[in-house]
């Protein structure tokens, strides 16, 4: 027995935004709907969460997000230092929104910020002068917040994938249309990938100003990130073609008109988007002058 997501959110005492984030973070397990619609929540999953110690406050705290000012307060550092750490890829946004001025507002998990601040490894980053490499990169205008968000988002997208075609479709979320056309020359395969690409109306109409801003965040822009995506798209396509060919164009439903999103956080084995913020002993250690 399963429940619609809206009903599950109410039973768990969560606002819809809190529920959606909990799903992305793997706090709430969802399963595919029999009719192929929006994923659903098993009854036993709702019961498991409700019976957990500290419910519902503990669950809400796990998905509580904060902006720059509140995040800096949690970490007991100036907002300017918080922003530099985030731009350097050391603090990874959990979500974002576009305000009425079309400015991107990044939000972070309060729980992750507290863990970062408690770690002795990160203590030198919270006081004193920033590492030279970080200062140089920030001065040059580097901002890794979109990329670190994409890494988290990719894990969520790939977690829904049941076969290589779906994995390939998820990867195309982060590639621009011209590059996709160059890499996948077959109109039949491109149409199939676009049809399989996850869709949700989470940032408005496709041609809206908000959607245009979000599209710039979704599409990878770093050479190394694009190279990684290209490599893994080709690998997934190779497996997909050996599994089964894309259906003829006449047999395919048109792609949905709407933006793209994800739904379950478990990443497929050996399939991890490279995030510059993730490995504490590589990037963080390098910035601190330590060996990774």
pLDDT of residue 203: 66
155-173 in b/e burial notation, b at 16+ Cβ within 10 A? Answer: bbbbbbbeebbbbbbbbbb
The two structure tokens encoding residue 43: 């009854």
Which of 76-85, 105-114, 247-256 shows the lowest mean pLDDT across its residues?
A: 247-256
The two structure tokens encoding residue 253: 């439903």
State yes or no: cis peptide before 67, omega within 30 of 0.
no
- Higher per-residue pLDDT: 197 or 169: 169
pLDDT in tens, 119-157: 999 999 999 899 999 999 999 999 999 999 999 999 999
- Mean pLDDT within 83-107: 96
d(CA 106, CA 86): 10
pLDDT of residue 35: 82
Q: Which of 119, 120, 97, 122 is nearest to 107 (CA)?
A: 97
- Mean pLDDT within 27-50: 92
pTM to 2 decimals? 0.83
- Mean pLDDT within 178-182: 96
Confidence of residue 274 (pLDDT cuts 50, 70, 90): low
For residue 223, give the H/E element and its range.
Answer: helix 223-243
Confidence of residue 282 (pLDDT cuts 50, 70, 90): very low
Contact present, 12 and 46 (Cβ < 8 Å): yes
d(CA 244, CA 264): 25
d(CA 85, CA 71): 11
């Amino acid at each position: 027995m399963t429940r619609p997501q809206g009903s599950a959110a109410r039973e768990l005492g969560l606002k819809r935004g809190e529920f959606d984030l909990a799903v992305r973070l793997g706090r709430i397990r969802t399963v595919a709907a029999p009719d192929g619609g929006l994923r659903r929540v098993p009854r036993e999953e709702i019961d498991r969460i409700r019976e957990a110690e500290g419910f519902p406050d503990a669950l809400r705290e796990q998905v509580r997000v904060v902006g720059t000012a509140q995040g800096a307060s949690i970490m007991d550092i100036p907002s300017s230092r918080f922003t530099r750490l985030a731009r350097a890829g050391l603090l990874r946004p959990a979500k974002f929104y576009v305000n009425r001025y079309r400015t991107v507002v990044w939000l972070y998990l309060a729980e992750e910020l507290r863990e970062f601040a408690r770690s002795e490894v990160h203590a030198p980053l919270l006081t004193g002068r920033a590492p030279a490499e970080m200062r140089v990169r920030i001065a040059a205008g580097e901002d890794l917040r979109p990329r670190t968000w994409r890494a988290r988002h990719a894990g969520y997208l790939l977690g829904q994938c049941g076969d290589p075609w779906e994995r390939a479709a998820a990867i195309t979320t982060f590639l621009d249309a011209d590059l996709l056309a160059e890499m996948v020359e077959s109109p039949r395969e491109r149409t199939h990938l676009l049809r399989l690409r996850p869709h949700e109306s989470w940032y408005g109409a496709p041609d809206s100003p908000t959607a245009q801003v979000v599209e710039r965040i979704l599409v990878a822009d770093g050479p190394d990130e694009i190279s990684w995506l290209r490599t893994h798209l080709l690998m997934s396509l190779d497996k997909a073609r050996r599994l089964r060919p894309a259906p003829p164009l006449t047999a395919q439903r048109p792609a949905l008109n709407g933006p793209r999103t994800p739904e379950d956080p478990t990443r497929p084995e050996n399939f991890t988007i490279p995030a510059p913020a993730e490995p504490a002993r590589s990037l963080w250690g390098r910035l601190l002058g330590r060996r990774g």
